[in-house]
Structure 1
């Protein structure tokens, strides 16, 4: 009855959406809280929704770490306090945190710091400027960056596409290979930005791609992995949603798919995979308001695999699996600092090679920590974090049959969350690169 008593003292107000001069939603004055559940999850979620709180993240895994991270608009802060949740403040002003991301910067051009004195140096000099990783960038510039990467490695790379988004944008990526020639070796398949607001993921996937190209001629370990595996890398697989976060609503998660019979927009592409699609951890309701981020952000769609983005990246992945096979699949996410192995649909099911995956995940986390001390939690998705019906790594484990199929949640653990400052991009890339180098050398 605590909720009812609190409601008598102060009723939450309907949050009004504030926009800046460019039409983008602002979050000035929103406070971010970590709420520890002390009641039924459904009741807690309903109460938070009554506050127009934006759900940022949740952890339903271990009992001692269960929490919800939510952003509460300034007009409902008093009502939030009246509900008397067990909570800690993660951010005093979400709008100020978003400002720390910095303005979106244009493509900086090609690297000029390396003198082109020989063929190897000339190739390195043709890479995009490393200053790319000092800022976040408009969607169109990511496409320019990919083209420039390919031009710097012309004999061992090609641009690739994996279908088309709901709004008609091509899902673009890059394919890298070594001395065996293209399509001759098992695949390593990476996705970034399936969730639109997770900007750090595309930057890290691009960082790894940059380093693979830059180090192929001067690092025997990198030459070995590229000579033994073909890399297929798609930095932004939800281009419509990603662009929407840059032009309208920074914390948007889903794609931008509309459906008949509802005014709600968007489906969670990572609850749409056609395997164990209708289980715990996804929603059957698209919600009622296209701009209400808290409303069924895990909507799984009307049918398995019915988003065009899922169709594109799934069909591409299935083709790789049916060809030379997939050694490693990683779906890159933020935030929380987790390395998650299958399964998400069940907390008891185990992959056939679960012991090997557990060891590799733990040691990959240790390799990451050696760079900047960033600690990653490792384990199976459902028991470590929460149930995820219709998730990608389950599909790639049991349907496409990749040997390793992981989801990695990058920095941080909640202080900045999805709006990681630009000055952390390079450090996040460095530690992720170290983790991948360990993994490639030991799987």
Structure 2
């Protein structure tokens, strides 16, 4: 009862501009099925109020729970009452937020600084400037977000008719390292086209379409109101809670395991498939490439994971005829990634090896668009900084991820 009363106080006192001082992240690692079930029960109790950065999924997989200062004591007591050992993984979330920006992150070249985070408006202008500065770049306006912002992509092409590589970032608003890494990699493609034989082959082999920030409204909101916001900013009928989890709103296996019907949940799957404006817009736009997309990657953070379908089910026996080739090239790519800075990635099936999530991008790419090589990638880190990766790590993230992308771009993805 005390915990439920505290939840009501938390909801009533939520402010417009959020400060995360005193917020902690607790980590619990379930050791047996009984502990995992207790964590599932706790998740069902708290999912609309407490932010599960990593949900309970399987044995020995960390569960990370961000808790506000007025709930920390009660949740810790609840965990102890359920005989669940925990550690304080992040002592103060606001400290991480404050420390993600740095004063000495300089760009190697004059002009746009790829070593810092940029606002939604700056990213939009970057797309325009890239098209102006490079003849192999075209600005693409995919459509409008719920709040009327342009959802932009860049096309990188040396001309002719080629198969398509599509990569996107920023579907979850708070995952800032994702758009930053998208822009870093795009810059590597265009600025090194005339000097790097591998890069030239990547652009000559494929037409590249890169969406740095799909969830532009949510991303903008993380700069102005709530750094840890995840969903889009579309109101939900009959609810005070705003937003759909766009990565639970894709039409393939929508509304199943790992997505929530609760409008207040961070994994709310929306009122219908493609009800999220941004997902609907990008789906309509992608249909023009039907049958011609060689590679589809959706970049997130955190966890250091390179995952392929299926995501909607935890059953590894569910038929999926391409998993062997998907795994083989992903292992080659993550080996190239690790060679840059020693960062280790796990490669596996999204649902069976990690956790089921229905209505997600990797199943859409594979099941709806028919792209053989479809992945969801969780970038840095493994939880020390979580969603607040310091700017000083952007360059390494970009370099190592681009090394992985080279493996795909220099191979014939038949």
Q: How does the TM-score come out when normalised to structure 2? A: 0.90
Write the distance in 2 (CA, Å) between the matches of 1:269 and 1:373. 32
Write the distance in 1 (CA, Å) between the matches of 2:275 and 2:45. 31
Q: Residues 52-89 of structure 1, C-alpha deviation per residue, up to 9 Å, x if partnerless?
A: 5322223514x222x32111222222223322131122
Instruction: Say whether 1:150 aligns with 2:131.
Output: yes
Instruction: Say whether 1:316 aligns with 2:285.
Output: yes
| Partner in structure 2 of residue 269 of structure 1 | 246
Instruction: Say whether 1:257 aligns with 2:237.
Output: no
Write the distance in 2 (CA, Å) between the matches of 1:240 and 1:281. 24
Q: Residues 137-170 of structure 1, C-alpha deviation per residue, up to 9 Å, x if partnerless?
A: 221111122222222212x221002221111111
Write the distance in 1 (CA, Å) between the matches of 2:367 and 2:347. 20
Unaligned 5+ residue runs, structure 2? none
Q: 1:100 deviation in Å?
A: 0.9
> Do the aligned partners of 1:104 and 1:138 also contact (CA within 8 Å) in 2?
no
> Do the aligned partners of 1:167 and 1:240 also contact (CA within 8 Å) in 2?
yes
| Partner in structure 2 of residue 437 of structure 1 | 406
> Do the aligned partners of 2:164 and 2:206 also contact (CA within 8 Å) in 1?
yes
| Partner in structure 1 of residue 143 of structure 2 | 163
Superposition pairs of residues 360-371 of structure 1, within 5 angstroms: 360-371=329-340
| Partner in structure 2 of residue 140 of structure 1 | 121
Match of 2:299, SS?
strand
Match of 2:52, SS?
strand
> Do the aligned partners of 2:305 and 2:347 also contact (CA within 8 Å) in 1?
yes
1:399 alignment partner, one of 357, 362, 368: 368
Match of 2:70, SS?
helix
Match of 1:70, SS?
strand
| Partner in structure 2 of residue 57 of structure 1 | 54
Instruction: Say whether 1:336 aligns with 2:303.
Output: yes
Give RMSD over aligned pairs: 2.4
Summarize the Cα distance change of 1:18–1:326 in structure 2 as closer, same or farther, 3 Å threshold: same
1:27 alignment partner, one of 13, 20, 31: 20
Superposition pairs of residues 213-252 of structure 1, within 5 angstroms: 213-252=190-229
1:45 alignment partner, one of 43, 46, 53: 43
Q: Residues 299-350 of structure 1, C-alpha deviation per residue, up to 9 Å, x if partnerless?
A: 111111112111111112221125xx00000001000000010111123324
Larger Cα-atom Rg? 1
Instruction: Say whether 1:412 aligns with 2:376.
Output: no
Match of 1:241, SS?
helix
Instruction: Say whether 1:200 aligns with 2:177.
Output: yes
